[in-house]
Structure 1
Amino acid sequence: MLTIDRATYDGIVAHAKRDHPDEACGVVAGPESSDRPERLVEMVNAAGSPTFYEFDSTELLELYKEMWDRDEEPVVIYHSHTATEAYPSRTDIGLANEPGAHYVLVSTREHGNNEGPVEFRSYRIVDGEVTEEEVTVVDEQPVSN
C-alpha cells in the first residue's frame, strides 16, 4: 500500500495537469528504507511527448547524487498518461528498474489541464510483473522515531 500526504498527492496531480498534453514525470524521495514519500521532485520530460516520458539523464544523475548525499531513495516514481488509463504500458514496465519504488500513474485523459478529477493509481513493478496497490492519502506523513 502507498501512503502519501495530501500536499504531495496534490503536487503530483498539479504537475500532471500543468504539463498536459505532454506527459509529466517526477520522483518523490524519502529516507532510505522508510517507504515514506516526503520530497516531491518534478522532473523535465526530456521526450516532450504526449505518449512517452523520459527523464533527462543529467537531471536524473544530479537527483541520485542529491538523494545519496541526503540518505534518500526514490520512494515514488510517477508520470502521467494524457490519453489512456493510468496503467503501465509495456514501455513503462520495461523502464521500471527500482524494485522498491511505488510507480504512480496519473491519467489526465478526461479533463486535461482543466478542473476535474484525475485517475491516480499506484503499482509495484518487479521483474516485469505489475501489481496494483491501494493508495491512502493522509493529511500529513506520520513521523517515525
Structure 2
Amino acid sequence: MDPKRQVKLNDGHFIPVLGFGTYAPLETAKSESQEVTQFAIEVGFRHIDCAHVYQNEEQVGQAIRSKIADGTVKREDIFYTSKLWLTSLRQDLVRPALEKSLKTLQLDYVDLYIIHFPLPVKVGNMCDHINFISCVRMCINLHGWLN
C-alpha cells in the first residue's frame, strides 16, 4: 500500500487513512452488506470497520474471505476494526464478545478492537455498575492473545 495512504502506529503496524464503514439500517438486506463490502475491497479499501451491533458481521466476514479466496487481497492486506458493544462492558464479558465476533466473521483476528459506546450501563439484570477501568485493562490484555 502507498505510504501516503496509511499511518504508522506506535507499535509499528500501519492503519489505512481511509476506512469503509459497514453499518446499514436493519431494513437493509444482509446480502447488500456482503456485496458492498466486496466492492469496497475491489476498488481499493483496505480498512473495513464493522461491529457486532450492526448485525452484519457474518456477511462482512464472508466478503473479506471471498476477496481473499479470489486473490484480490491477502488477510494481512486488510485492516479490520471491530467494536465492543456497551452490553459487554464488563471484564468477564470482553473476551467472549470478541470471540463471538471472530466466530461470526470466520476470521482469526481483528486488527483493532475498540469500545463502541462507552456509556455506563447495567448489563442484563445485574445490579452492579460497569467497572470501566477493568474493562479497558481487559482490552489491553487481549493484545497478546490476538497476535
TM-score where L is the length of structure 1: 0.39
Higher relative contact order (CA 8 A, sep 6+): 1
Max radius of gyration: which structure?
A: 2
TM-score where L is the length of structure 2: 0.38
More strand by share: 1
